[in-house]
Structures are given as C-alpha cells and as structure tokens.
A and B are shown apart, each in its own frame.
Chain A
Amino acid sequence: MIRELSMVEALREALAEEMRRDPAVIVMGEDVGVLGGVYKVTDGLLKEFGPERVRDTPISEEGFVGAAIGAAATGLRPVVEIMYSDFLANCMSQIVNFAAKMHYSSGGQVRVPLVIRTMVGHGRGHGGDHSQVPIPWFMNVPGLRLVVPATPRDAKGLLKTAIRGDSPVLFFEPHLLYRTKGPVPEEDYALPFGRADIKRRGDDVTVVAISAMVPRAVEVHERLRDEGISVEVVDPMTLNPLDIDTIVESVKRTNRLVTVEYSPKTGGIGAEIAALVVEKAFDYLDAPIVRVAAPDVPVPVSPPLEKMTVPSVEAIMEAVKGILA
C-alpha cells in the first residue's frame, strides 16, 4: 500500500532529502524559517538544518534573488521561495536579465544552479495582484526551466531534479492542489524534465492540461467515459523543456486538441502549444484547436466572480463535447 502525502508534504520531503544529500543546498525566502513558510512547505527545515541554511529574508525580492544568483554562481545551490508568484515581477530583472542569461552571455563560464519555488493561482479571494498564474511571462525568456507539477508524486520528483540540475528553474506550485493527497513512493526518485505524462489514455480527444487543471481534466475523462467519449489527458510536467512529441503523437491518434490552463487566454500556454501542434500535425487535425483558459481579466475578490476565472470541470467538459460536435 503506497503512502499518500499532500503536495506540501511531498515538497517538504524533497527539500529535506536534498538538503541532507548535499550541504550546498540552502533555502531562502520570506517567512520560510521560523514560520516554516506561509504554506508550510519549509516547515521543520529550520529545526533540522539551522539558520545558516534556512534563511528568513527581509522583504526584498530583487535583493535576495540577486543574492541567490551570486551564491549559485559561486558554489551553492539555493532554493528561493517567492511567496506569491505575483512578486516575481519585483525581481524580474534579476531573473530575466541575469539568472536566465549569465550562462549564455559568459560563453558558458558561469553556471546558475538556482531554484525559485513560487505559489500560483491562489484561488481564495486574494485579488488580482496575489492570484496570478504568470507562467507564460517566462515561456518567452530563453534560459529558464519551467516546471508545473500537478500531483504530490510529480512535485517531489521534479523538485529533486530541479535542485540537482545546473540551470535556473522556476518551479510553479498550484495553491489549489497544496493539500490534495496522492501516492508518493518511499524510495528516492527524481523525475526527468521534458517528459510529459499521459495521466489518462483516450481515443477521441487530446486534452493537454496544466498544473491545477490536470485533476479537472482527469475528472472529465472519468465522467465522459460513461457517455462513451474517450478523453486522453496529457500533463506536460515541464513547459521548458516541453515534450511536444508526446502531445503531437497523441493528437495524431485522436485528431482533436483541447488545451486547459488557468492563466489568461491571450498569449498563454495554450497559444504556444496550439501553434506547435498546427506546425507539426496540421494534416491530422479534424477540428480547430480549442483553448480553455482564464478570461483576460485581473482576478477579482468576490467569490462568484473569482470562480469564473478558473476553468471548471463543466467548462472543460463543454469544450471537449464542443470539439466533438
């Protein structure tokens, strides 16, 4: 009987195990030490590893991300927590102009083995500047690895790979799934970047779902199975590198593609995937590609309005049925 952990617990395990494994791994961020993180992901780490390796930072994202970059370039493996992914805007220059580019612009001399973990898509009344899923901002910056785990097992395995790798990583954790439990192997394992996971097999439609949308797409698969509609759910796991081959191979079988994300639709993740699929599998498409995404609005606080900014199971189901009509 495989044990079940929540995503928070799985992430915590990954951090603790990697910190035990390699003394160069340190954790930094606001409230990560004494408080154990506002989402409790770093809970217990201060006690085990001490204040040198688990550092509470002052409120200065550009400052401590810059520091993490300098530390990474000279021998450490920092794992920085950005409390709300909206705050990535505060350290955009360090991430985009330095972490992403130092290796290239130095002709390969400098390495930046930095992991930035951040919470996306709060979903509970935190408002426009505390609820974003700003993943697409970074898809357009060469030099950054982008990770989007959707299950506790995937989160643990992918975080380990992120920490052990030598490239800068943005690790997006879905708040909506922090407490969702799932099976997590006992033994040490790491999941590779650039390998999509087919969460459910199907023949009629390919649904590529991102992050918190994955369990919703899986639910759609279950419900529609009774109606005789067979939905294949593909979870990319990482958006850089992106396993487009698995997605294309799936579309070649089903001839239909629906993408599901909860970033705003315009210039979003679905837009990039759709363009790639048209490029590589044009002659296999039996219908136009459908993108399900958040509407192009800042997230409001009012609960019924906020709900409308996150695609529901019903909305996804409607899109799937629509593409089959």
Chain B
Amino acid sequence: MRRILMPRMDIDMEKGSVVEWMKPEGEAVAEGEPVVKIMSEKVTYEVPSPASGTLHKIIVTAASEASIGQVIGLLREQGDTEEELEAAVNEAVVRHAEPERKEGERRVEVVSHAPRRETARIVASPVAKRLAEEHGVDLARIVGTGPEGRITKEDVLRLVEEASQFSETIPLTGVRRTVAERMAESFRAAPHATVTIDVDMSHAVDLRKRLQESGVDVSYNALIIKATAMALRELPILNSTLKGTEIKVWKAVNICVAIDTPSGLVAPVVKNADQRSLVDLTGMVEELASKAKEERLTAEDMKGGTFTITNLGMFGVDQFQPIINPPQAAILAVGRISQRPVVEGGGIMAKPTATMSLAFDHRIVDGAPAARFLSRLRDILQALEEE
C-alpha cells in the first residue's frame, strides 16, 4: 500500500489543489504513470504514481485543497490486506477533515462552498430526500434546521430557490480562486491610490513603423515595457516591496505582463526587462502569452516579478483602475491608442494618444513620486529609440 501525497513542486509551495484524478478508483496504474493533476499558484503539474498497483481510494477530490505532504490518495499494491487499507483510509480521511493550521496563518473562510460531510448518516425527511433527488441537490451539503438537525423540505426548497436564481454555477477553483484570493488580499492590505496621464504615442507609432519597414517586428507592449523598465531604474522606489516594517527595493526589474487566458488572469514575468532589446522583449512577451494560453507556464515563468503592466486597450478601453499585484508596490494600466484632438501650437490636431493609470501602494509611495514616475514614463515613451 502506498500513500499518494500532495507534492511540493516549488520551494515556496505550501498547499495545492487537486485539478483532476487521471484514473478512477479501482483502475490499475503503473509506476511513474501520471495519476493526478494538481495546481499551485496557477501552475498545473502532473503527479506520477509512486508504484504500480490500483488506485484504491481518492481521499482529496477534484477542486479540493490539501497541504503539501498530505495524503490525497491511496494506492493498493499486491499483498495488501483489507484491514491495512481500511485503517489507512480512515486515518487519511480524518486528517483531511482537520487540516493542520500553522501558527499565525489566517484561515480563509470559504462561505459559498460548504464542505462535504464524508462520514455520518444524513438525516433528512422522506419528502426532503425525494425533492433533493428531483432537483439534483446533494443532501450532504445542506445543514438541516429540523429537530436533531433533520433536513426538511423547507431546507431543500430554500436551496433550490436560491439556485434557481442562477443560470450557472462556477466553482471557485484553480486560477479563478487564486486570483480571487490575491485580489482581495491586495486590496485589503495596500491602500490604493491612482494617478493618470495621457501619453502622445505618435513617436512610438513612428518608431514601430520605421522598424517594421526595415523588417523588424516590435510590439507596442514591448515599447511600453521597455519605457517602464527605464523609468523604474530612475525611480526605483516604484520597484519595491513592503515586508513587515521594511521597504525593500529590488535589484532586478522583472516586469509581469497581465495576460487574459480562458482560465483567467495570469501575469508571467519578463525578467530583467531593462536589459533587453525591443526585439527581445517582443519575443519574450509572445512566448509567455502562448505558454499562458496553453497552460504551459512553469514556476520559473511566474517567479520574481517586481512590477506589473496590464493592458486592456485591445478591448477599446481608454482607462481603468487596476489592483496591485502583491507584493509589488505599483501597477500600470494601459488603455487603447486612439486618435484624439490635441491642442498644439495654438491649433487642434489629431494625435494617437493612450491613457495610462498607475495604481500604487500608498504605504510605500506617495502621490508626488508616483506622479513623477508617470511623467518620466511619458517622456521616455515620447522619445524612445531602439538601441
């Protein structure tokens, strides 16, 4: 008999969630054959079976979490006795029901997703059982309000009515869940303030055109990343993090690029963006984007970000207020480039313009330095050249 444990796939990993079991209970599996998919920090991993045998019992089901080292499944090997297996199952189930809590770690309450009762008889009135079956409600998820905790007809109908308001129920798992937790955490911890500026993109447009004509493809994203990285070098306080009572300024400028994928928002890292050429940056962003969309991002891709850029211009959005990607100090939101009337030399001209908003952690940075940064960014963008 072998225990399948939640593996530590990364040095910082503390817990993971089971994405899906690749074998059903009772099916044979060979040593080294992938038996379960887990996810941590938006990265998916396939876990190989520790030995050959049959998958005897799934302890942690899909969409459930487990701490690293926790038993998530049991593998039956030849020669195992029923008693051994039963004992192991019971032990694992009990442990799973009461996860160890580390000191100081704040428990995140999951309100909408009530835990499934694995043991104990479900007490429900006959009509409650029938209605639950008719409406496809899992009785194990209802807390009964009848005598001795009996689930009553009313309890079931209440749930059915609640559910009937909704056309779709999407479980909060995987990337979505991580984003939800992260965003809430970020917004709660850091007092967000935003400064906004309009940038004349005519120079950037020209530069791009010129490079294209000489056969070099460079993306707007690359231009913005480069300009941001250079601005960060000048005003490094925007490239920092607050740890306890210390503000630590990072050495490297690793810019996270927010990418929208079918499973949600991910922000892989372009490392040392200040040292890369525009062409390099263009390639790096493209690669990260395709990896993201194919769910092939590695832990390495996700580590070490110091600043984040997020762009909703392709949707026609001019401006928006982003939420900081913790534990960073600030985030830049970029809108679309559009022709706008601009007053210049006493007259009105049409210029390609983009609005950029910088949200910053007011514990670390004040409005003036933030504004100064944004101003420098604009100046850089309006004069950028390829090296």
Contact = CB atoms under 8 A, between A and B. Distances in A.
A and B in direct contact, judged by CB atoms within 8 A: yes
A94 interface: no
A284 B134 CA distance: 13
Nearest to B155: A286
B275 interface: no
A124 B366 CA distance: 93
DSSP majority for the B interface?
A: helix
Contacts of A286: 125-128, 152-154
B130 interface: yes
A282 interface: yes
Interface in B150-170: 152-154
A interface: dominant SS:
loop
A255 B124 CA distance: 13
A287 interface: yes
A285 B147 contact: no
B129 interface: yes
A276 to B, nearest CB: 15
Interface in B121-137: 125-130
A286 B128 CA distance: 7
Interface in A122-159: none
B369 interface: no
A286 B125 CA distance: 5
Interface residues on A, range: under 10
B130 A287 contact: no
Contacts of A59: none
Nearest to B153: A286
B157 to A, nearest CB: 10
A206 to B, nearest CB: 13
A285 B124 CA distance: 10
Contacts of A282: 126
B126 A283 contact: yes
A285 B125 CA distance: 7
Contacts of A297: none
Interface string B98-134: 0000000000000000000000000001111110000
A284 B153 CA distance: 9
A284 B147 contact: no
Given A286-B152, A286-B153, A255 B147 contact: no
B24 interface: no
A1 interface: no
Contacts of A325: 147
A284 B154 CA distance: 13
Contacts of A284: 126-127, 130
Contacts of B146: 287
10 contacts: A255-B127, A255-B153, A284-B127, A285-B125, A285-B126, A285-B127, A286-B127, A286-B153, A286-B154, A287-B152
The 7 A-B residue pairs whose C-beta atoms are closest, nearest first, are A283-B130, A286-B153, A286-B125, A285-B126, A286-B127, A283-B126, A284-B127
